A and B are shown apart, each in its own frame.
Chain A
């Protein structure tokens, strides 16, 4: 569904992405793992067109994303740190996005209801806690039933109840055939969700494997243990 070819991005002397090639398919739930500053967020932002890479192409459903921005209709994005116009109220932000998306389908309001956002519509974004901001981000990401979900540290900052609600929602989206790209440092949390793992280091793609393959290669029972094993053995 998404094909990434030879993607390279430099920030000054720092190489954030170094000739990354990836093939992301429908129905997969892919964990994007790697140490801080390894280029995960840059990769995600490149797919979203927020960061413009120097070299390489991203092909979304056979179309180069440089040519047409319509592909963003099919993406729901939840940023690591949601930054919203400070003076806007929650209700206004949601209205604005609904307006822009202009979607004919009925919106998905399960998260909106489960997070009780309707009781806070008049709160300004500036006054929200980090967790509440994340709830707004999550609601917006799932609202338009996108075929691709890009979640950057989705559960960081959420309380356990809210995190459980979100995980249930992610699983539901996975079962309905969406492609889900998720980054997280809480490897144990990813355990029961993901089907594939992408491991990056210093802007380079180290491997892209299915979970079963990863476990059998390292002989460990969980993703967390496999990754730690790989990092320690330095075979990567």
Chain B
């Protein structure tokens, strides 16, 4: 794993990751110290986790994939397996994003929030980072054109962060007369961001505010089995995009 070392050093030299960690820390510390109660601060941090973290992960990772073209070309002409190169890039990138996230958001969370909620948010945020790095690797391999690849990444983020919610809400109102709570729950599981939001909100015990649907969410996602299932789904969101990108990369002409 000598390549992994070079990848991590290269990303650190980029300084974007360090700036990202500092920005996250600034936002979370100020969120907790400016709001008068911890729950409000927690909600601000939740929004950072659900919107900013995926956006930065997906954008930075996509650009990094394109900028690594030379590195990849250099290594492929030497005795290094292609899958090793791609995995090193992926793990290096994921590691950097997760560490910045934990340094930036994790530390204030552990200090200000109760441990259970903090841990849930840290795990969800780390998973979201890795998921969107995987999504970035997929869109980076699908197109040779950098602008197109970054465009696809932004569209995917927009879809998962904003459009998907709108879609679910739209269905909810359209079929409000029918008992559609369960299908809606299933639908939410199709977006990693929504899944994380539900997991964290349930943990914060404010699902009561969500009425009947909240009760059903609690029934399904509140149990241990539900949590395990949710994390397995999130893991799938890492594995599937990355494996597709790996297969594509092994067949790519350089």
Which stretch of B66-74, B185-193, B206-214, B225-233 is in the interface?
B66-74
Given contacts A83-B69, A87-B13, A99-B2, contact A50 B76 (CB under 8 A): yes
* Complex partner residue of A87 from B10, B75, B254, CB under 8 angstroms: B10
Contacts of B252 in A (CB 8 A): 52
Are B76 and A85 in contact, with the CB atoms below 8 A?
Answer: no
Nearest-Cβ distance from residue A87 to partner chain B, whole angstroms: 6
Are A83 and B77 in contact, with the CB atoms below 8 A?
Answer: no
Q: Is residue B179 contacting chain A, with contact meaning CB distance below 8 A?
A: no
Given contacts A45-B254, A83-B69, A84-B70, contact A70 B10 (CB under 8 A): no
Nearest-Cβ distance from residue B72 to partner chain A, whole angstroms: 9
* Interface of chain B residues 1 through 51 with chain A (CB within 8 A): 2-3, 6, 10, 13-14
A132→B69 CA distance, assembly (Å):
20
Contacts of B70 in A (CB 8 A): 83-86
Are A101 and B78 in contact, with the CB atoms below 8 A?
Answer: yes
Are A85 and B79 in contact, with the CB atoms below 8 A?
Answer: no
Number of interchain pairs (Cβ within 8 Å): 58
* Complex partner residue of B79 from A50, A51, A69, A96, CB under 8 angstroms: A69
A45→B80 CA distance, assembly (Å):
15
Q: Is residue A79 contacting chain B, with contact meaning CB distance below 8 A?
A: yes
Chain A 185-219 interface 0/1 with B at a Cβ cutoff of 8 Å (1 = within)? 00000000000000000000000000000000000
Chain A 55-68 interface 0/1 with B at a Cβ cutoff of 8 Å (1 = within)? 00000000000000
Q: Which chain B residue has the least Cβ–Cβ distance from A125? A: B70
* Complex partner residue of A93 from B3, B74, B80, B254, CB under 8 angstroms: B74
Are A52 and B79 in contact, with the CB atoms below 8 A?
Answer: no
Contacts of B80 in A (CB 8 A): 69, 100
Chain B 242-254 interface 0/1 with A at a Cβ cutoff of 8 Å (1 = within)? 0000000001111
Are B6 and A70 in contact, with the CB atoms below 8 A?
Answer: no
Q: Is residue B81 contacting chain A, with contact meaning CB distance below 8 A?
A: yes
Contacts of B251 in A (CB 8 A): 52
* Interface of chain B residues 150 through 165 with chain A (CB within 8 A): none
Given contacts A48-B77, A93-B74, contact A85 B10 (CB under 8 A): yes
A85→B69 CA distance, assembly (Å):
8
A11→B78 CA distance, assembly (Å):
24
Are B78 and A50 in contact, with the CB atoms below 8 A?
Answer: no
A190→B3 CA distance, assembly (Å):
37
Are A50 and B254 in contact, with the CB atoms below 8 A?
Answer: yes
Q: Is residue A97 contacting chain B, with contact meaning CB distance below 8 A?
A: yes
Most buried by A among B6, B75, B81, B251: B6
A50→B250 CA distance, assembly (Å):
10
Nearest-Cβ distance from residue A54 to partner chain B, whole angstroms: 11
Which residues of A pack against B, CB within 8 Å?
11, 45, 48-52, 69-73, 75, 77, 79, 83-88, 93, 96-97, 99-101
In the assembled complex, 21 residue pairs joining A and B whose CB atoms fall closer than 8 Å, in A order, are: A11-B253, A49-B76, A50-B73, A52-B251, A52-B252, A72-B77, A72-B79, A73-B79, A75-B77, A79-B77, A83-B69, A83-B73, A84-B70, A85-B10, A85-B71, A88-B10, A100-B2, A100-B78, A100-B79, A101-B78, A101-B79
Which residues of B pack against A, CB within 8 Å?
2-3, 6, 10, 13-14, 67-71, 73-81, 251-254
| Known contacts A50-B77, A50-B253, then 8 further A-B pairs from the complex at CB < 8 Å, ordered by chain A residue | A45-B253, A48-B76, A51-B254, A69-B81, A79-B77, A85-B74, A86-B70, A100-B75
